Amino acid sequence: MSDKKPIKSALISVFYKDGLDVLVKELDKHGVKIYSTGGTLEFIEGLGVKAQPVESLTGYPSILGGRVKTLHPKVLGGILARRSNAQDKEQLSQYEIPEVDLVVVDLYPFEETLASGAPDAAIIEKIDIGGVSLIRAAAKNFNDVAIVASRSQYAELLAMLQESNGGTTLQNRRYLATQAFNVSSHYDSAIFSYFSASGEVPAFKPCVEGKIPLRYGENPHQKASFYGKLNDMLEQLHGKEISYNNLLDIDAALSLIAEFTEPTFAILKHNNACGVATRPTLLQAWKDALAGDPVSAFGGVLVCNRELDLESAEEMNKLFCEVVIAPSYGGQALQVLKQKKNRIILIAKTFKLPATQYRSLLNGVVVQNRDTTIETEAQLTPVTKARPTAEQVLDLLFANKLVKQSKSNAIVLAKNGQLLASGVGQTSRVDALKYAIEKASSFGFSLKGAVMASDAFFPFPDCVEIAHKAGIVAVIQPGGSVNDQQSIDYCNANNVAMVCTGVRHFKH
């Protein structure tokens, strides 16, 4: 027995009408009897296609301000009836319930209304009841009924109808049912998240749609995918497919560059900055960022917060890099960068990073608010006799932004708006500092007059002593150690300025 079933009747009731006309005309061409409601009925009749109001089927008008239209046995019965079940067929006949072979329905725009900042009453009214019931009923009975739960599937259904002469196959219907349950489950999760915004219900129900298969995971033997709407944040102009590791670096790059408003260039490798500079011009920012560590920059991710000009692009093109990110590309800059065929070139659109972060851990998931705190001069508390100069304050704030976006334990050394060196991901803060000092020296930087930033407090005074002997004149740190005074005393004895922020910036 063939699993291909002709569509003889359809129920169509949608919020969004765009693209519906072509589908309706195709159904009409095959003689499909159409039931519809409200604005959708008017739309269909406006196309010159006959449709029967659902009210004429149920004997009830739309009531309660439109809250109840299709919740009726004569609607749901015709959808849920099993065509191969004799008792179901008998009851359809007994109660004069017509079979419905196709349901085309979408849901009220709950998420869009929520995002608009509408009041609670308006948001609640956009919780769809009848639509979800129709979707679940049709999807459950996919053996006999086809379901389209989103306008994004109109074209797919149209192709199925044209291929099967107005019908659908079992494979078609099961696929459509899977898509429908995805729509309804996402919708319910969004509603749950709204009601449980304060987290009083102990459940984790993320609502993430869109899947991008990646070449592989962190390593070639690992499979990977990205879930989300990447195109909302980035536009790829050139290069190979973005990999799992590329995405990690891109995320780190965008998080870092978002800290700066002045013209800034950053170079990242394995999620950490190896070169950063803020300058009046992008070209000079690039040159000074690269000078911070021209070795690690090889194969790195380059990001800036101004339109990338031709002169900067020509200098950048001398370096092999995996990814370039800019808000836009001026003149012939793009053509220059495209000379490397695999180089990933991205436009960073105006974006707001999600307020919540998730990470799989053990047999579950940990959730936290994103660290959006970054201290300004007003939040700095001087704790030493020596006070940082105006120039040193600027460098301290600059270094603090970098250490915030570096893997812990982290130490950043900076001067004149330039990253001189950093020690990141170390098990000891002393080791992080020693590594940064050695690295700065290896690239010819003098630390005399430089500043130091630490992502967490100093448990002992050894770090400030080592830093001072290397030339550091000012320090920024959260404070909070039981031994804070020992570090402060050393700074006072050696004319080193120290400010505390009261905010730790661990990053693991």
Tell me the catalytic residues: 140, 270
Tell me if residue 55 falls in helix, strand or coil: helix
Q: Tell the burial category of 202 from Cβ atoms under 10 Å away from its Cβ (0-12, 13-18, 19+).
A: exposed
**Distance in angstroms (rounded) separating the CA atoms of residues 397 and 499:** 11
Token pair 């990110």 in the structure block, residue: 325
Of 295, 259, 274, 306, whose CA–CA distance to 419 is shortest?
A: 274
Q: How far is CA 284 from CA 233, 244, 316, in A?
A: 27, 31, 12
CA 139 vs. chain centroid, Å, equals 29
Distance from C-alpha of 369 to C-alpha of 355, rounded to nearest angstrom: 6
Q: Which long-range contacts (CB under 8 A, 24 or more apart) does 386-393 make?
A: 386/491, 386/492, 386/495, 386/496, 386/497, 387/497, 388/451, 388/474, 388/497, 388/499, 391/416, 392/451, 392/473, 392/474, 392/497
C-alpha distances (whole Å) from 300 to each of 51, 165, 312, 322, 448 are 60, 54, 16, 6, 29
DSSP secondary structure code for residue 379 in this structure = G
Question: Residue 115: exposed, middle, or buried by beta-carbon count in 10 A (0-12, 13-18, 19+)?
Answer: exposed
d(CA 413, CA 423): 9
Q: The tokens of 439 are what?
A: 């690295």
Contact 430, 417 (CB under 8 A): no
The two tokens of residue 35 are 């039931």
Alpha carbon distances (Å) from 435 to 410, 414, 450, 499? 10, 14, 16, 23
- Could you give the residue ranges of the DSSP H alpha helices within 30-100? 38-46, 54-58, 73-80, 86-94
